[in-house]
Chain A
Amino acid sequence: MDNGRTETPAAMGATGLGAPALPARAPGRRPPIKAALFGAVLLALLAIVALASFREASAPGSRTSRPALAAPRPALTAAEEQYALTLWPIHNEVKAGALKMTLGGLSYKLGELDRAGLKARVEASAETYRAAAARIAALSPPPSLAGAHQMYAEAVRLYQQSAAEMLRTAGDGRDEHLVAAHPLSMEASERLLKVGDVLWPGEYKPN
C-alpha cells in the first residue's frame, strides 16, 4: 500500500525474516504503469468470471440445472399388474378401432370415402367395441382399480354410441350425425388416457 511515506531498506527488512530489502521509492512517486495495468486487467478478468458464473447459474434450461422431478408413483400391486396385463390387448384393439373409425369419418368428410365405405369402416370398429365390451365385462379388477375398470368400460360404451351416430350418416347422408358423434368419441378417448395414466404410465414416449 502506498501511503506516500518513504520506506527505507532497513525499515522494510525489519521483520527479521531475512527478506531481501527492496529499493526505496522516491518521495511522491506514483505506482509504475505496468502495475496499474496489471491491476486493471486482473480486475476486469475477475469481473468477467463473476458475470459468467452468475449467467451460467441463472441461465434457464442449462444442462447442468435440473429441477427436482416429481416423486415416482408406487408400483402396481401384483393383482393390479395382472389386471393391467389382461386389459392391455383389449386396449390395443379398442385404440386401433377408434383410430380407424376416426379416419373413416375423416376420409368421408374429405370425399375419399362414400357412404357405403363409411358404413363398412364404422361397422368394423363397432364390432371391435362390442367384442371388447364383452371381454371387459368378464374381468374382475382388484378393488383399487374398480374406478379405472368402470371408466374403461364407459369409454367403450361411448365409442359404441359414437359409432351408432356415425352409422346414421351412412344411412341418411346427413353430416349432423357425425357432429353429434364427435364429442362422444372425444370423451371416450379422454377416458382411455386417464385409465392409461393409471395402468400404463409409459404408454406414450416423447416423440
Chain B
Amino acid sequence: MRKRSWLGIGLAALAGVIGIGALVAPVPAPAQGEVYSVWLVESSRFMGVPMGAFMPDRAFVPGSTSPMNNVNTVDLPVNVGVIKGNKEVILYDSGWKQQDYFKMTGTEHAAPLPEQLKLLGINAADVTKIVIGHGHWDHAGQLMDFPNAVLYVQREELKGIEWALNYPNPKIAAVNTSPGGCNRSPACGYPPKTLDEIYGKVLSGKAVIVDGEMEIAPGVKIHPAHRAHTAGSQLLEVPTAIGKLMFGSDAYSSWEGIRDWMVANIQQTDTVQQFLAYEKCYKVTGGYQNCVAAHEPLSYTDKYPLTKNSWTGPNGSRMAEITLAPGEKSRKP
C-alpha cells in the first residue's frame, strides 16, 4: 500500500514535469515544410529612456534594491527582423532613417538598414516583402530603400490615423501635443514622411492592405494584434528549425514584459489586447522564449537567449543570428 502511494506520487510528479515542459518548451517546427533563417538587426538605439516610461510596473524607485525597481534608465534597441527562405527575404519592421531624426531622440548607433543587410549578404533589391508591425516612424521608415519589396500593413492601422486626424476634439486630433513636442496622441507617431513612404508603396502597386490574418509565404503568417500598441498592430509567425518564432514589433516591446506579464511601451494600447498578443506568442510558439521583441533592452545579450548569438555591425549597431535553415551559412563574423 505504502509502495503504491509512493509510486503514485512519483508518477504524478513525472506527469507534472512533462506537462510543464510541454507548456514552456518551444514547439519544434514540423519535420515537413519550410523553415526559415532569421536574423535580428538593430536599426538604432534610444539612449537613457526612463524605465518607468517604458514599463510602468518597473518604474525606478530611488534606493530600491528590488530588481523590479532599481533600474533608472534603459537603452532601447530598435530591432528589425530579417527572415530568409523559400526564395523570399522578408523584413519585419524597417526601422528608421537616421539622418531625418538623429538629433531628435538621443539616439546612438543608427545605421542604414541596406548597409546592415549587406553584412548578411543581402542586397536591398533582394528584399521581397516588408511587414510593418505598425506604422510608427521608428518602425516603418526606409521603405523606399527597398524598391522591390511589397509592403504589408493592416487596414486598421491606416484607419486609426485617419480617425484620429479627423476627430472633432483637438486633443485627440492633435499631431503635436505640446510646444516643441509630440507625445502620445493617436496621430503623433506618424510624421508626414513616414505616411508618404507607405503611400509610395501603394502608388507603385507594391502594398497589400491586410484585414486580419494572412499567410504571406509558406508558414509565415500575419496575426492581427489591433490595439496591442496601435490601432492596427500586427504580429508575424515564422517557422524555423528551433520552433516557431513570433515577431511582435511594439506589441512586444519588452521580452521581459512577455515573460513576466507586464505591459510595455503603452501608446494607443489596450492593455488587454497587449496581453492577448503575449498570449498569442505563448500559444503559437509554446512559451515566451521565441517571442521577438522590438525594444528589449536585454537584446543581443545572454539574458535574452534567443538573441545572444550576436556581434557588432556598422556604427556600433548590433546584429544577431537567431537560427539558420538547413544549408544556410552562418553570417556571424
Contacts and interface: CB of A to CB of B under 8 A. Distances in A.
A60 B108 CA distance: 14
Interface stretch (B27-35, B119-127, B161-169, B237-245): B161-169
Contacts, number: 163
Given A73-B103, A206-B49, A110 B209 contact: yes
Contacts of B55: none
Interface string A82-111: 001100100110011011101101110110
Please classify how large the interface on chain A is, using the bins under 10, 10 to 19, 20 to 34, 35 or more: 35 or more
Contacts of B106: 69
The interface residues of chain B, by DSSP majority, are classed as mixed
B69 to A, nearest CB: 14
Nearest to A105: B199
B284 interface: no
A30 interface: no
Interface stretch (A17-25, A39-47, A177-185): A177-185
A56 to B, nearest CB: 10
Please classify how large the interface on chain B is, using the bins under 10, 10 to 19, 20 to 34, 35 or more: 35 or more
A63 B71 contact: yes
Interface stretch (A134-142, A143-151, A197-205): A197-205
Contact of A196 (B78, B104, B138): B104
Interface stretch (B5-13, B190-198, B212-220, B324-332): B190-198
B158 interface: yes
Interface string B101-128: 1111110110000000000000000000
B297 A95 contact: no
A60 B179 contact: no
Interface of B: 45-49, 71, 74-78, 100-106, 108-109, 136-138, 144, 158, 161-162, 165-166, 173-176, 179-184, 187-193, 195-200, 202-203, 209, 250, 265, 267, 295, 297-302, 310-312, 316, 318
